[in-house]
Chain A
Amino acid sequence: MATVRLSFSPAPVHVRTARLVGVAVARRAGVREDLLDEVRLAIGEACTRAVALHRQYGVAEPVLVEMSDSGTYAVRVVDRAPIEASIGLAALDADQLANESLNEDELTTGVGFALLAGFVEDLQVRPVDDGIGTEVRMVWPLHR
């Protein structure tokens, strides 16, 4: 069961709020202090990705963030963009990053995914069970 649920209209200004809430709940739940920077970054990246998809596809529905602390600290970030938009996430190597033809949006997407994959050991990106969209699920251990 989610302990905290946050939904926000898909605007960049709200991503910081989601990060702050996500870290506050993580700290309260008992996530190790030295992991909190990574939690902040990962929640930010997942929300940034969701906002970008909503804006790209003109989806006005809110982005949903659910945080639960039963046994582990689990965060779900749910977007409502067409599912095919999520395919093609891949980490880029240094040559691709420096490639002149890669535009900033593509680069940001690739880098964002690299950060998620690099900072979250337990990461799943999958279609939502109900309707259109994708959920990014991230889990961290609790130490309490």
Chain B
Amino acid sequence: MELSLATRTVGEHTVLEVGGEVDVYTAPRLRERLLELIDSGARHVVVDLGRVDFLDSTGLGVLVGALKRLRTADGTFSLVCDKEPLLKIFRITALDQVFPLHPTVEAATGAGA
């Protein structure tokens, strides 16, 4: 399934909804969109992985890149994910200790992430 990207605003948070497959071919588009959002002033970014059905190391690298960029800019970056296969990927790579992970967008935006 092709990558899909949609942005909406929830309070002070910019929510990027990602769907489809995030891999070595599609991850550059995700990186580009995240950079656009940050360059245009978004400082509290939530990436909703709810409709992602494949995520590989390239996609994870892009997400870590955005986290670091926002941290440098005194912003916040968090992920929404409640699918066990994806959560397992975060655990195996130890990235569950790097990203704030929330089960819902409400939890991510309400938690002041």
Residues of A that sit less than 8 Å from B by CB: 12-13, 15-16, 19, 37, 40-41, 44-45, 48, 51-52, 91-94, 97-98, 100, 104-105, 107-109, 111-112, 114-115, 118-119
A-B contact pairs, 19 of them (CB 8 A): A12-B25, A15-B24, A41-B56, A44-B23, A44-B24, A94-B97, A97-B64, A97-B94, A97-B95, A97-B98, A98-B98, A105-B61, A108-B57, A108-B60, A108-B61, A111-B93, A114-B93, A115-B89, A119-B92
Q: How far is the CA of A40 from the CA of B54 in the complex (A)?
A: 9
List the B side residues contacting A94 at CB < 8 Å. Answer: 94-95, 97-98
Which chain B residues (53-74) contact chain A, with CB distance < 8 Å?
54, 56-58, 60-62, 64-65, 67-68, 72
Q: Are B64 and A107 touching (Cβ within 8 A)?
A: yes
Question: Inter-chain contact count A-B, CB under 8 Å?
Answer: 81
Q: How far is the CA of A14 from the CA of B43 in the complex (A)?
A: 35
Q: Are A104 and B64 touching (Cβ within 8 A)?
A: yes
Known: A52-B24, A107-B64. 14 other contacts (CB 8 A): A12-B23, A16-B25, A44-B23, A48-B23, A48-B58, A51-B24, A94-B95, A97-B93, A98-B67, A100-B72, A104-B62, A104-B64, A107-B60, A115-B56
B72 to chain A, nearest CB (A): 8
Q: Are A112 and B56 touching (Cβ within 8 A)?
A: yes
List the A side residues contacting B48 at CB < 8 Å. Answer: none
Residues of B that sit less than 8 Å from A by CB: 21, 23-25, 54, 56-58, 60-62, 64-65, 67-68, 72, 85, 89, 92-95, 97-98
List the B side residues contacting A19 at CB < 8 Å. Answer: 23, 54
Q: Are B25 and A111 touching (Cβ within 8 A)?
A: no
Q: Are B21 and A16 touching (Cβ within 8 A)?
A: yes
List the A side residues contacting B92 at CB < 8 Å. Answer: 114-115, 118-119
Q: How far is the CA of A19 from the CA of B23 in the complex (A)?
A: 11
List the B side residues contacting A12 at CB < 8 Å. Answer: 23-25
Q: Are A111 and B24 touching (Cβ within 8 A)?
A: no
Which 6 residue pairs are nearest across A and B when measured between Cβ atoms?
Answer: A118-B92, A112-B57, A108-B61, A94-B97, A12-B25, A111-B57
